[in-house]
Amino acid sequence: MEKLYFASDYMEGAHPAVLDALVKSNYVSTPGYGEDDFCLRAKEKILAACECPEGEVHFLVGGTQTNSTIIDALLTSYQGVISPVGGHIAAHEAGAVELFGHKVITLPAENGKITASQIDAYCTDYNNDGNREHLVMPKMAYISQPTEYGTIYSLKELKEISEVCRKNDIYLFVDGARLAYALAAPENDVTLPDLAKYCDVFYIGGTKCGALFGEAVVIPKKGLIPHFFTIIKQHGALLAKGRLLGVQYDALFTDGLYEKLGAPAMKAAEEICACLKRLGYVMPYPTPTNQIFFAIDNDKLPSLAEKVVYAFVEKYDETRTLIRFATAWSSTDEKTKALIKVLEG
């Protein structure tokens, strides 16, 4: 029997609509570096979906690359970025932000989230510190929607964070590597236009959300980053055949596909959660999106691993391990049932 892949949301290729668009456009000749009509059209669709027609869109290839490029583009050498302690840039990027010279300032997080008042307190302390000219200046807040723990910020929380960022004159940057799964979450109330309204920059993840690869960076206020094209090039993040990103995002933003893409993941997650709850597993984080964290007895892991590919998170206690299942746009009832059968033993 083939293994069931639930380790992450990038285990398969592209959504059929995306693949189809790539195949159809394959022999068309276009200019390189994203200066083609596919990109132009995709950008217009994205800006329309975000209700900020005056904004800018740039396409990059992957998440870590997008994070470090944006952060380096907006911060000067002595400025740092505030992040939840488990934020992707703080914990999982091998020091990509530091490579470009910037400190990641970590704040304690609850379920992967930080609050407006934490950010405000940090900035206030900095501003009140008589030695602040010897310190790293906080100049950006970085959050993920959904977070690395599958949780989401509510609109109220996002607005509050946006307000303290503007009050303290720091940028708000939202990492949307898994944004489709936040948008598809029943309890979510943060829309694309909300993100455009409350952030200085955010991105709409493609790699984990139905594309082969790609992240669409939205800058609601045009011109925020002068010469961003050159910055992308210098940071090794410019795709020569840039139209591949345009073709994919064009497909993702046709007929509202992106907003619907996460639905199968939600359905699968809900059923898996219900099963885990039924079986009495501890799930330390609430799971409104497609990531499911639960503690499992160490001695059950080998037999699980024979049938299911999951992600190791950390030691939970002496006898248990915290692991993660991720559902995806590609989740099917069949696969979900097979997983539940495995879990039920």
Q: Please list every residue from 240 through 279 that binds its own copies, using CB under 8 A.
A: 240-241, 244
- Which among 204, 196, 224, 199 has a CA at the least distance from the CA of 75? 224
Q: Which C-beta is closer to its own copies: that of 14 or that of 161?
A: 14
Q: Which C-beta is closer to its own copies: that of 15 or that of 196?
A: 15
The rounded distance, in Å, linking the Cα atoms of 185 and 268 is 12
Q: How far is the CB of 198 from its own copies (least distance, A)?
A: 26
Judged by DSSP in three states, 144 sits in strand
CB 8: neighbour CB atoms within 10 A? 16
Indicate whether 222 belongs to the interface with its own copies (CB under 8 A): no
Binding-site member from 141, 164, 172, 212 for its own copies (CB under 8 A):
212
Q: What is the DSSP string of 45-60?
A: HHHHHTT-TTSEEEEE
Indicate whether 59 belongs to the interface with its own copies (CB under 8 A): no
Indicate whether 8 belongs to the interface with its own copies (CB under 8 A): yes
Task: Give the number of residues in contact with its own copies, rule: CB under 8 A.
Answer: 75
Indicate whether 286 belongs to the interface with its own copies (CB under 8 A): no
Between helix 116-128 and helix 155-167 the angle, nearest 10°, is: 10
- The C-alpha angle with vertex 91 and arms to 90 and 92, in degrees rounded to 5, equals 115
Q: Which C-beta is closer to its own copies: that of 74 or that of 119?
A: 74
Count of alpha carbons within 13 Å of 254, Cβ hemisphere only? 15
The rounded distance, in Å, linking the Cα atoms of 202 and 172 is 8
Indicate whether 344 belongs to the interface with its own copies (CB under 8 A): no
Residues 85-104 that bind its own copies (CB under 8 A): 91-96, 98-104
Indicate whether 330 belongs to the interface with its own copies (CB under 8 A): yes
Binding-site member from 118, 145, 188, 207 for its own copies (CB under 8 A):
207
Indicate whether 236 belongs to the interface with its own copies (CB under 8 A): yes
Indicate whether 178 belongs to the interface with its own copies (CB under 8 A): no
Residues 100-159 that bind its own copies (CB under 8 A): 100-104, 130-131, 133-137
Residue 95, exposed/middle/buried by CB under 10 A (0-12, 13-18, 19+)? exposed
Cα dihedral sign, 138-144-145-151: negative
The rounded distance, in Å, linking the Cα atoms of 123 and 117 is 10
Residues 10-39 that bind its own copies (CB under 8 A): 10-14, 19, 22-23, 25-32
Q: Which C-beta is closer to its own copies: that of 38 or that of 294?
A: 38
Q: Which C-beta is closer to its own copies: that of 160 or that of 175?
A: 175
Is residue 189 within 8 Å of 154, Cβ to Cβ? yes
